Structure 1
Amino acid sequence: MDRHTPIALVVEDDAAVRDLATAVLEESDLGVIACESAEDALSVLESGDVTVALLFADVRLPGAMDGMTLARDVGRRWPGTQVVVTSGAAHEGALPDRAVFMQKPWRALDVLVQAERATLKAKAA
Structure 2
Amino acid sequence: MGRAAPTAPIAVVVEDDESVRDFAAAILEETDLEVIACDSAADALAVMREHGSEVALLFTEMQLSGEIDGATLARTVERDWPDVRLVVTSRPGAAQTVPDHAVYMQKPWRPLDVLVEAERAAYAAAA
Q: Which bin holds the TM-score, normalised by the shorter protein?
A: over 0.9
Amino acid at match of 1:100: V
1:24-103 paired onto structure 2 within 5 Å: 24-48=27-51, 51-103=54-106
Cα contact 1:7–1:50 (8 A) shared by 2: no
Amino acid at match of 1:56: F
Q: Which moved more, 1:19-28 or 1:42-51?
A: 42-51
User: 1:116 and 1:43, CA in 2 relative to 1: closer, same or farther beyond 3 A?
Assistant: same
Q: Does 1:115 align with 2:118?
A: yes
Cα contact 1:85–1:99 (8 A) shared by 2: yes
Cα contact 1:4–1:50 (8 A) shared by 2: no
| Counterparts of 1:37 and 1:121, CA distance in 2 | 26
* Equivalent pairs, count: 124
RMSD of Structure 2 on Structure 1 (CA): 1.5
Structure (1 or 2) with the greater helix fraction: 2
Give the gaps of 5 or more residues in structure 1.
Answer: none
* Residues 52-88 of structure 1: per-residue CA shift (max 9 Å, x gap): 1000000111211111110010001000000000012
Alpha-carbon offset, residue 97 of structure 1: 2.4
Cα contact 1:9–1:34 (8 A) shared by 2: yes
Q: Which runs of 4+ in 1 moved over 6 A?
A: none
Alpha-carbon offset, residue 94 of structure 1: 4.1
Cα contact 1:44–1:50 (8 A) shared by 2: no
What secondary structure, in the 3-state scheme, does the structure 2 residue paired with 1:48 have? helix
